[in-house]
Amino acid sequence: MQTRPLKPVTTTIARTMLVILLLSVATTSFALLTLASSLNDAEAVNVSGSLRMQSYRLAYDIQTNSPQITEHLDQFEQSLFSPSMAALEHWTVPTDIKVHYYNLIGRWETLHPLLHNGEKQRFLDEVANFVDRIDGFVFELQEFSVIKLQVLSITGGIGLSLILIAALYTIHFTQRKIVSPLNQLVAASEQVQNGHFDLALNVKSENELGILAGAFSKMASELGKLYRDLEKSVDEKTRRLRHANESLQVLYNCSQELSVSRLSSQNFSAMLDTLIAIEGLTATKLVIEESNGVNTEITAGASSKQPWHYQDLELDGQVLGQLWWQYTLPCPDKSLIDNIARTMARAIYYNRAQKQAEQLLLMEERATIARELHDSLAQSLSYLKIQMTLLKRQLSKNEMDNAMQIITDIDSGLSGAYTQLRELLSTFRLTIKEANFGEALVEMLKPLDEQTDAMLIIDNHLSSLNLDAHHQVHLLQLIREAVLNAIKHAKADEIIVTCEQDGDQVNIRINDDGEGFDPTNEKLNHYGLAIMTERASRLHGELTINTTQGSGSEVALSFTLEP
């Protein structure tokens, strides 16, 4: 296709147009060169700004002995030597910025060996000064970018002014050929200045201004694309920083729950509520495994029809429970959930360890009391029993029937007292080695099961999470006393121990199908019943005994867990 040649209007117009063309080309070329050199500025500012956050993150990793410190060190060095930072060595970059960048590298090469040499505290002392240098470097980059934009604006303004002067000089010759396209170019420049890069220039002239208008439209289109890409990159980096901050906050809140002296279900509920704050999660559920098969469940959030996902809570090869969650888009951070799962596993372990330590202290105190009873009262009763036996032998020779009867009653009373004392010593010497209530209950009743032909059935549905050591010790002692009474006096074929929980209400029942007894008979009010009543009062509960002669008996305890 043959193109039509340009038609100069007059020599003056041609010269004027030549001047305008040269000015336009010069201004546009300078603008393109300036913009091209500015493409790396924004990325360099973002990368250098991220170095501050990464420096503080390294300091936090050192203070918390984070296992991610090696990964974060690699990320820091990748940022420090990234292509955008290396581009600062270009000849157009001022010498001050280059020197400052080399100083940052030199300072990092001084700080980095401190981590490998174990001088972490010295590293922490130098972090603040290092961040101040990064701040100064970022400020210089921003100032350099502003200066380039100012030079670009001044140059563009000068070029545009000269073009307008030349256009006014020839306006009476070029009203239709020059003025209208120039007006459109001015309007387009204002749109670009206001951030509107989608231009539609209606310039159909076959002269130099038509070419210039096309080039300007293309330049605006390219600038718009670069501007949108830059905005997208900034938004993405901002979102990642916000997400990292939220993740750190969630981990911090969960770690705070481990600092309490006594872990309870409220602390686990608080962890789950914190977990719900993660973007994308809608519902969470914590399942704590119990040895009796009745697991404890704590939920948070609103469950939906979305599928459940779970992760085992494992510590030292032992599975302590599971963490379940539901989510919608966007998908939650899996590594954050892994960290919280490990925190919850440690919390469950701490809960059991705390309870076991408290129980050991109580058992040590009871063992001390048992030793005192054995060393004092038990030996005295034993001595009296021996003396009574000798006295019976002497008196029986003189056939003193009445005296023998009295002595027999005294001997019976001493034997009963001695038996009661031995039972008290056995009760005080009871050892509870397991922190889990179900395991401790089975372990405690195992010796009693070997002492009787009756079938001993344990039906435990009670979670040990909310039971402290005080609760567990008194419950186990009360159950032991009730089962022991049934074995000794009831002549039962079956003894059933039932433990249930309804909300904060705990119900314990010990049933047997033995002979029963008359509760109104004071002679049968064994001291064990008084002990059980005392333990029930310490739990702020109510103890009831339901029995009749010949129809078995039931010992029932009901009390409320304190929040």
Least confident range of 99-113, 151-165, 389-403, 451-465: 389-403
Structure-token match 């008979």, residue found? 521
Within a domain: residue 200?
yes
Q: What is the DSSP string of 507-555?
A: EEEEEE-S----TT-GGG--HHHHHHHHHHHHTT-EEEEEE-TTS-EEE
Alpha helix positions (H), 486-549: 527-538
Beta strands 281-288; 309-315: pairing state: unpaired
Q: Is the pLDDT of residue 129 over 50?
A: yes
Query: 543: domain range?
Result: 430-563
User: Which pLDDT score is estimated for 382?
Assistant: 67
Please state which of the ranges 269-283, 345-359, 447-461 shows the lowest mean pLDDT: 345-359
Q: Report how far residue 536's alpha carbon sits from residue 418's, in angstroms, rounded to the nearest whole number.
A: 25
Interatomic CA distance for residues 455 and 493, integer angstroms: 6
Taking only the tens place, the pLDDT of each residue in 18-44 is: 777 787 888 887 777 776 666 666 677
* Percentage with pLDDT > 70 across the chain: 74
Q: Indicate the DSSP class of residue 279.
A: T
160 and 182 both lie in a single domain: no
Which of these three, 212, 235, 252, is where a domain ends? 252
For 205-250, what is each residue's pLDDT tens digit? 666 667 777 788 888 888 888 888 888 888 888 877 787 777 777 7
**pLDDT above 90: residue 182:** no
Tell me: do 64 and 191 sit in the same domain: no
Q: Which of 226, 252, 278 is the last residue of a domain?
A: 252
The verdict on 236 and 110 lying in the same domain is no
> What pLDDT was estimated at residue 105?
80
Residue 358 is assigned to a structural domain of this protein: no
Put residue 322 in one of left, alpha, beta given phi > 0 → left and psi -120 to 50 → alpha: beta
Residue 352: closest CA among 435, 291, 290, 409: 435
Q: Assess if residue 414 is contained within a domain.
A: no
Q: Are residues 190 and 103 in the same domain?
A: no
Distance CA 283, CA 33 (A): 54
Between the CA of residue 317 and those of 128, 268, 312, 314, 320, what are the distances in Å?
41, 22, 11, 6, 9
Taking residue 485's Cβ as centre, other Cβ atoms within 10 Å add up to 20
For residue 487, the 8-state DSSP code is I
Q: What percent of the chain has pLDDT over 90?
A: 4
Write down which residue in 351, 384, 411 finishes a domain: 351
Q: What average pLDDT does the structure give for the chain?
A: 75
**pLDDT interval class at 274 (50, 70, 90):** confident
Whichever domain contains 111, its CATH number is: 1.20.120.960
What is the DSSP pairing of strand 553-560 with strand 318-327?
unpaired
83 pLDDT more than 50: yes
Residues 119, 44 share a domain: yes
Query: Is residue 94, in this structure, part of any structural domain at all?
Result: yes
pLDDT(8) > 60: no
* CATH code where residue 329 lies: 3.30.450.40
Query: Count of alpha carbons within 13 Å of 428, Cβ hemisphere only?
Result: 17
User: Region 449-465: what's the mean pLDDT?
Assistant: 85
Hey, which residues does 335 pair with through a beta bridge?
none
Question: Can you tell me whether residue 311 is helix, strand or coil?
Answer: strand
Asked if the structure places residue 367 within a domain, the reply is no
* 101 shares its domain with 34: yes
Residues 442 and 517 reside in one and the same domain: yes
Q: What's the pLDDT band for 2 if we cut at 50, 70, 90?
A: very low
Q: Which two tokens stand for residue 393?
A: 């032998």
Same domain, 125 and 219: no
Residue 396 lies in a domain: no
Same domain for 442 and 561?
yes
Quick check: is 383 in a domain?
no
Q: Is 196 helix (H, G, I), strand (E, B) or coil?
A: coil
467 vs 475: CA distance, rounded Å: 10
Are both 111 and 187 inside the same structural domain? no
User: Which range, 41-50, 286-295, 311-320, 452-461, has the best average confidence (pLDDT)?
Assistant: 452-461
307 and 237 assigned to the same domain: no
Q: Which of 298-307, 468-477, 503-512 has the lowest mean pLDDT?
A: 468-477
303 within domain boundaries: yes
Q: Looking at the 3D structure of the chain, how many domains does it have?
A: 4
**Residue partners of 44: CB distance under 8 A and separation at least 6:** 84, 85, 87, 88, 141
Please give the structure tokens belonging to residue 173. 């010759």
Pair (143, 192) in one structural domain = no
Q: For residue 451, give the CATH number of its domain.
A: 3.30.565.10
Distance (Å, whole) CA 351 – CA 434: 13
Residue 10's pLDDT is: 47
